[in-house]
Amino acid sequence: MNFRIDLPTKLALVLLLWICAFAVSWEAQVVLVLLIIMSRFAVPDFKPQSRRSARAFTRFLIYSFAVATFVLILNSLLIRGGSTFGSIGGFSLYQDGLFFGIRTASRLLLLTFAILVFFISTPLKDLIRYLQARGLSNSFALILLLTLHFLDQLPARIHQIFLAQQARGAPVDAGFISRSRALFSILSPLVLSSIVESIDRGTALELRGFLHRPTSTEESQSSPGQRNVLTLLILFLSLIVVLYTIAQWLLG
C-alpha cells in the first residue's frame, strides 16, 4: 500500500486539522500544533519547496508565538474571573482570561499552521494541475493561479517599492506619521503594477494554451487500487470527529 503523503492526503489532513480546531479541546490543539511544527522538519513531504518558503515559515513561527503570547496576556488582563496568578504593571492576571486566551490562540495557530505547511510544501503548479484534474474550470484555475502568484510575490514587491521610494527621498521610514502619509505612495504603484503584471501573465498563459489545454489525466489514470489509503483513513477520521462532536452537543 502506498502511504506517500501526496497532494490529496495533504488536503485531507488540512480538513482534519481544521475540524479539530473547532471540535477538540485546547490541550489536543496544542499537541497538534507541535506535531505540525515537528512534521515540517521531520517529514520530507512537508518540507518547504524553497529557501524562501523556509524563511517565511520561520518568521511566521516567531510572529505567531509572539502574537499568541500577547493574546494570552491581554485576555488575562481583560477577562476577570477565577483566581489570580500574577500581575503586570500593577494589573492582576486572571485564570479565566488565561484559559480563554489559550483556547483562542491554540485554535488560530492550528488553523494557520495547517494551511501554511500545506502551501509551503506544495508546488503551485501541482496544486493547479490537481484541481484541473478534479474538474475545476480552466478560467477559474487561471484566476486562482494569478491570485496565488500575486500573494507569493507581494512581500518582495512591497520591499522593492519601499526601496524605490526611499531612494527618491520619500519619508517612508521617518516615524509612524510619516509612514502613514507615505502609505498611498506605496500602495498606488503596488496595485497598478500588480494589475499590469496580472494582465500580461494572463495573456501569456492564454497564448500558451492554458485555457484550452486538456485537463490533466494523471490522477484519473490511477486505478482504484492505487488510491492512497492514508487519504481515505484521514477522511474517515474527520467524519468520526464531526459525528462525535455532534453527538456530544446533542447529549450535552
Residue range 219-232, pLDDT digits in tens: 444 444 445 788 88
Among 51, 33, 39, residue whose Cα is nearest residue 107:
33
| Domain identity same for 33 and 60 | yes
Pairwise CA distance, residues 252 & 249, whole Å = 5
Residues 101 and 184 in one domain: no
**Does the pLDDT at position 207 exceed 70?**
no
Pairwise pLDDT comparison (115 vs 165), residue with the higher score: 115
- The answer to whether 173 touches 159, Cβ cutoff 8 Å, is no
Q: 109: burial class by Cβ within 10 Å (0-12, 13-18, 19+)?
A: buried
pLDDT of residue 110: 93
109-156: pLDDT as tens digits: 999 999 989 988 888 778 878 877 777 777 777 677 777 767 666 677
Closest CA to 20 of 4, 37, 8, 33: 33
Residues 53 and 125 both lie in one domain:
yes
Residue 32, pLDDT > 90, answer yes
Q: Is the pLDDT of residue 202 over 80?
A: no
Same domain membership, residue 89 and residue 9: yes
User: Shortest CA distance to 33 belongs to which of 60, 6, 9?
Assistant: 60
Within this chain, do residues 70 and 153 fall inside the same structural domain, yes or no?
no
pLDDT tops 60 at residue 2: no
Q: Kindly state whether residues 239 and 190 are assigned to the same domain.
A: no
pLDDT band at 182 (very low <50, low <70, confident <90, very high): low
What local confidence, expressed as pLDDT, does residue 33 receive? 93
Q: Say yes or no: 82 and 63 in one domain.
A: yes
Q: Domain range for residue 44?
A: 1-129+223-252
Residues 6 or more apart whose Cβ sits within 8 Å of residue 135: 215
Count how many domains the chain has.
Answer: 2
Q: What is the DSSP string of the chain?
A: ------HHHHHHHHHHHHHHHHHS-HHHHHHHHHHHHHHHHH-GGGS-SSHHHHHHHHHHHHHHHHHHHHHHHHHHHHS--S-EEEEETTEEEEHHHHHHHHHHHHHHHHHHHHHHHHHHTS-HHHHHHHHHHTT--HHHHHHHHHHHHHHHHHHHHHHHHHHHHHHTT--TTS-HHHHHHTHHHHHHHHHHHHHHHHHHHHHHHHHTTTTTSPPP-TTTTS-GGGS-HHHHHHHHHHHHHHHHHHHHHHH-
Q: Is the pLDDT of residue 190 over 80?
A: no
Q: Are residues 71 and 164 in the same domain?
A: no
Q: Are residues 150 and 203 located together in one domain of the fold?
A: yes
Whether residues 167 and 207 share a domain: the answer is yes
* Least-confidence region, from 28-42, 90-104, 116-130, 169-183: 169-183
Cα dist from 112 to 18, 60, 221, whole Å: 9, 10, 33
pLDDT in tens, 41-96: 888 888 888 887 888 888 888 999 898 899 888 888 888 888 888 888 778 888 88
Question: Are residues 119 and 77 both part of a single domain?
Answer: yes
Confidence of residue 177 (pLDDT cuts 50, 70, 90): low
pTM here is: 0.72
User: Count of CB atoms within 10 A of residue 124's CB?
Assistant: 14
Q: What is the pLDDT of residue 28?
A: 93
Contact 231, 9 (CB under 8 A): yes
Residues 196 and 108 in one domain: no
For residue 227, the model assigns a pLDDT of 54
